[in-house]
Structure 1
Amino acid sequence: MIMEALDALKQTEGANKSSISKYMESKYGEMPPGHSDLLSHHLTRMKESGELFFIKNNYIKPGPDAPVKRGRGRPPKPKEPLPLGAEVPAPRPRGRPKKDPNAPPAPKKPKLPAGPPSISKTGRPRGRPRKVNPQPLQDGFEA
């Protein structure tokens, strides 16, 4: 109905939503109460799919030499055809693979040797070093 209205209105700059709606009412008579919402939905869907262009608040049918509208994002890489007789591999499932319930349990990690709990593998304690207290004065000078 929308394409028919655009063809019948024959406007070079296109037709807006109200003129399309008026044409439909004149041709088909009384419209249902949700007509304007339904018309808006279909016009938006046709605009996003590339069936219509929306320029200066008017809807226009694309010409025969108009470029094809691409979807969002990067286009997929072209796939090479499989040789004859080859089976199509099943797609891998998404996410992390499930654990094998029959697999032997994994060995436990060895614990670090007993010592101060704040010393790591490098031998240095974690965090900021403690402040060093100044030495008491000897003969009037600080050591």
Structure 2
Amino acid sequence: MATQQLAAPPLSLPHYPELIFTAIDAIDEKNGANKSTISKHIEATYGNLPAAHSTLLSHHLNKMKAAGQLVMVKNNYVKPDPDAPPRRGRGRPPKSKQPLPPDGVLSPPKPRGRPPKPRDPLAPKTVTPSVSGRKRGRPPKLGSSATKAPAPASGERRGRGRPPKVKVSVAAPVGA
């Protein structure tokens, strides 16, 4: 039997947001800490990290930044100021809803689109001809020979595309 070398059991690491917050607090710079210094601090504190540490760190930093738990200032991550107003999302804010009175009843929303024409169920079903007497749509092409190009005299079909230019050879004058 061959001896297999077992990997060291993974240490129970705190969740990445906790690691990031402790690293930012430990670095204690007024401008915050960038990704590489946060990573170095975590590596120095917890020696055995997963192979995907940098990917996990980037993912959690972006997630925390989007959630408003961290603020990015000049490529550094900083904890948000507690006195700062809350972040507003993109786009126009939603309209404020009017409170419904307690005795009021909510009516169903108006249906979309144009309402159908009223039909008389007792009327006989007849097909009405169009007003002008013509069929609907584009009229068919006329089969007159005036609009068609003349057919080649030899009976063979013309090739596709523009026909080549006929080269006319100019003969030199005989008396020159």
Report TM bin, short chain.
0.5 to 0.7
The match for 1:53 is 71
**SS of the counterpart of 1:22?**
helix
The answer on 1:112 being equivalent to 2:131 is yes
The amino acid of 2:62's aligned partner reads: T
- Give 4+ residue runs of structure 1 displaced > 4 Å after superposition: 85-93, 106-110, 115-118
Q: Percent identity?
A: 49
Equivalent pairs, count: 110
User: Aligned-pair distance for 1:109?
Assistant: 6.5
Whether contact under 8 Å (1:49, 1:69) holds in the other structure is no
User: Aligned-pair distance for 1:107?
Assistant: 8.0
Q: 1:38 to 1:113 in 2, by over 3 A?
A: same
The match for 1:3 is 21
Larger radius of gyration: 2
**SS of the counterpart of 1:83?**
coil
User: Aligned-pair distance for 1:110?
Assistant: 4.4
**Unaligned ranges ≥5, structure 2:** 1-17, 138-176
Q: 1:78 to 1:38 in 2, by over 3 A?
A: same
The answer on 1:16 being equivalent to 2:9 is no
Report Cα offsets for 1:101-139 as digits up to 9, x if no partner.
Answer: xxx7x9867413236989xxxxxxxxxxxxxxxxxxxxx
The amino acid of 1:10's aligned partner reads: D
**Unaligned ranges ≥5, structure 1:** 119-143
Distance 2:136 2:107 in 1: 52
The TM-score with structure 1 as length reference comes to 0.61
